[in-house]
Amino acid sequence: MRQVFEILHKDAMGRIGKLETPHGSVETPALMPVINPNIDFITPSEMKKFGAEILITNSYIIYRTSKLREKALKNGLHSLLGVDLPVMTDSGSYQLMVYGDVEIDNRTIVEFQNRIGSDIVVPLDIPTPPDADFDTARNDLNITLEREREAHQIHFQNDNPLLLAAPVQGSTHPELRRKSAEEVQNLGDVIPVGGVVPLLDTYRFADVAKIILEVKSVISPIKPIHLFGAGHPMVFSLFTALGCDLFDSAAYALYAKDDRYLTPYGTKKLAELQYFPCSCPVCLSHTPEELRRMDKKERQMLMAEHNLYVSFEELRRVKQAIRDNTLFELVESRIRNHPSLVAAWRAVRKYVALMEKYDPTMKKVFFYTSADSCSRPAISRHHERVLRIDVEKEGVTISTDHGIAADFYLKPVFGVVPAEMLEVYPAGHAEMPESDVEIEAFLIAVEGLRKFLAYHRDKKFRIFASEVWREYLKDLPENAVIIWR
């Protein structure tokens, strides 16, 4: 397969990348506002002012609307929408998920998307709902894979510059998600993760996180990942940190029609707001009360504009966190806004070995924010690295107090830190509270200490420890003596 995606910067499993399309390059992570060509709302040409570099629309709606179909076939998709931005087109799979059927076949919709010049063409995959029984999910997946192979054959008959997306399906069955990912990475330029909208709508973010990580465990790192239906700014940092590069959003419009106000911290109802916590042009120019008094159509337009401004602002914040190598810190602050986000981030702990493969080994600083910081790859990587250090002395000193000269130091979370690494990332560049550190930080440190002592069982260790460590420094190997201070 050709390579259309370049990774420029990385942190956690997130990356800033460049996706090349026939209508120009797109910097990722990117948000694609959903455009319904049948609805007169914020126009496609206005999307640039909010920060959009790429849009997504529905080729099935265009195909089924004769007036739109004729215009698109005659002048092209971009002329129909009045934009020169890259445009991705969905195939009708969303309608298939909602209504159970669509009046079109895979070949027809793939050929149609090619004829109208979609930058990213999507086959008619089957979005199996969550918790479907295994046989149903497997049968749906087999049909989807057949359609994706057909789309690949149609799409790449000639030297086609348009990109092909090959969605991953498989419901909530990890083995099916992995099977799907293994096959589609050789079929598509872009890999969407589909069938997750019902999970997102019901805040089952932990299930979404597991699906993404199962996909990432087998997919090539050079493939851009699109998370279908993820358009709320409160999830951008989390799902970017797990390796997603593209998001799409109809939320900006749907929420506005219900007078719902998006923030990176969750959703607010306009009726409950006395102040706008935002500095976008809409919020600086109006008060909540002024919007409530407006005509409904005008109010919906302004609410949608705010929702777009705040969504793209959050994506820029995520990108800067990647550049600063502080994406973990951003995620750990954002997950505090909903228990389901906390559950999702903690579900990632089982995949720390996978995250280690992606997360950069050297960074500027390690900010400890909570017990969730204990699960970062930098911690496990440090513990493994310390075990490989040669200990030449027969009698070795370890201290919990940096004011005491010692060969090694004992630090919450990090455990054993060689004296010569006190200025080296991560332990030497860690910013942590001087007191009231969570219990988990001590437990992880002591577990690392036990492994270190057992690994060097032929050496003798004296451990100078402060009282704060007393309840944790228990059951150490016999080659260690504790001197309390």
Q: What is the CATH number of the domain that holds 98?
A: 3.20.20.105
Mean pLDDT computed over every residue of the chain: 95
Give the residue numbers spanning the domain of 121: 5-348
Report the distance separating Cα 195 and Cα 125, nearest Å. 10
Residue 353 forms part of a structural domain: no
Same domain for 132 and 51, yes or no, is yes
Six token digits for residue 142: 């087999």
- What is the reported pLDDT for 106? 96
Q: Is residue 124 part of a domain?
A: yes
Q: Which of 248, 266, 244 is nearest to 12 (CA)?
A: 244
Euclidean distance between CA atoms 310 and 246, whole angstroms: 17
Please give the DSSP secondary-structure letter assigned to residue 89: E
User: Domain for residue 355, yes or no?
Assistant: no
Judge whether 10 lies within some domain: yes
Percentage of the chain beyond pLDDT 90 is 93
333 and 402 co-located in one domain? no
Contact predicate 231/247, CB 8 Å = yes
168 and 108 assigned to the same domain: yes
Tell me the C-alpha distance between 205 and 211, whole Å: 10
- Choose the final residue of a domain: 348, 380, 403: 348
Quick: pLDDT tens for 373-412. Answer: 999 999 999 999 999 899 989 999 999 998 899 999 999 9
Residue 439 has pLDDT above 90, yes or no: yes
**Is residue 283 domain-shared with residue 173, that is, in the same domain?**
yes
Q: What distance in Å separates the CA atoms of residue 227 and residue 337, rounded to the nearest whole number?
A: 21
- The answer on pLDDT for 324 being more than 70 is yes
Regarding whether 328 and 268 lie in a shared domain, the answer is yes
Q: What is the pLDDT of residue 308?
A: 98
Phi and psi torsions of 480, nearest 5° = -120, 135
CATH code of the domain covering residue 475: 3.90.1020.10
Whether residues 366 and 344 share a domain: the answer is no
The answer to whether residue 114 scores a pLDDT higher than 90 is yes
Question: Within a domain: residue 43?
Answer: yes
Alpha-carbon distance of 203 to 196, in angstroms, equals: 11
Residue 249 confidence (pLDDT):
86
Say if residues 85 and 50 touch (Cβ distance below 8 Å).
Answer: no
Residue 292 near residue 270, CB atoms below 8 Å = yes
The answer to whether residue 93 scores a pLDDT higher than 70 is yes
425 with 479, same domain: the answer is yes
Confidence check: pLDDT of 237 > 90: yes
Average pLDDT over residues 230-237: 97
In a domain, 205, yes or no: yes
What confidence tens digit (pLDDT) does each residue in 17-69 have?
999 999 999 999 999 999 999 998 999 999 999 999 999 999 999 999 999 99
Same domain, 271 and 386: no
Share of the chain above pLDDT 70, in %: 100
User: How would you class 3 by CB atoms within 10 Å of its CB: exposed for 0-12, middle for 13-18, buried for 19 or more?
Assistant: exposed
Q: How many CB atoms lie within 10 A of CB 85?
A: 20
Contact 273, 261 (CB under 8 A): yes
Ramachandran area for residue 300 (φ above 0: left; ψ -120 to 50: alpha; else beta): alpha
Task: Flag whether pLDDT at 159 surpasses 90.
Answer: no
Instruction: Among 317, 348, 379, give the residue marking a domain's end.
Output: 348
CA distance 299 to 365: 44
Q: Is 14 helix (H, G, I), strand (E, B) or coil?
A: strand
Does residue 75 share a domain with residue 43?
yes
Instruction: Count the residues in the chain.
Output: 485
Give the pair of three-digit tokens for residue 363.
């960074």
Q: Known catalytic residues?
A: 90
Residues 402, 338 share a domain: no
What pairs with residue 117 in β-bridges? none
Nearest-5° angle of CA 352, CA 9, CA 178? 40
- The whole-angstrom separation of Cα 320 and Cα 326 is 8
198 falls in which pLDDT band (50, 70, 90)?
A: very high
Is residue 318 domain-shared with residue 401, that is, in the same domain?
no
Domains of the chain: total? 2
- Of 325, 348, 371, the one marking the end of a domain is 348
Q: Please, which pLDDT band fits residue 1 given cuts at 50, 70 and 90?
A: low
Burial of 176 (0-12, 13-18, 19+ CB in 10 A): buried
Same domain, 287 and 337: yes
Domain contains 230: yes
Say which DSSP state 374 is in.
G
- Kindly state whether residue 356 falls inside one of the protein's structural domains: no
